[in-house]
Amino acid sequence: MTTKTKPKKTEKLTKVIIKKCHVCGALTESENEIERCAKCNKAFLPLKYFNKIHENQNTQFKDLFSSSEDITDEDLIKGIYVLW
């Protein structure tokens, strides 16, 4: 008999993407990938941009940005992004 008492419902926390701007260093938080720095307005590329443009050649650029739910730690660029 196994005793698994951990309730699954509490795991439904929303992940937040935190991104550091590589130009001005400002931190931006969002549930979706950040398209622009809120401070200096620098435009960012979506994560895994080069894979995505080869796989989705007919997709609009803005649709390449993912929700935090679709991103895992392996997708992130270390030092620039963190999932919280």
Q: Which residues bind Zn ion (CB under 5 A)?
A: 21, 23-24, 26, 37, 39-40, 42
Give least dist CB 34 to Zn ion, A.
10
Give least dist CB 43 to Zn ion, A.
10
3-class SS at 28?
Answer: strand
Spell 49-68 as b/e; 16+ CB within 10 A means b.
eeebeeeeeeeeeeebbbeb
Give least dist CB 45 to Zn ion, A.
14
Output 41 or 56, the one with its CB closest to Zn ion.
41
Output 28 or 53, the one with its CB closest to Zn ion.
28
What is the C-alpha separation between 34 and 17, in angstroms, rounded?
8
Q: How many CB atoms lie within 10 A of CB 2?
A: 4
Output 53 or 81, the one with its CB closest to Zn ion.
81
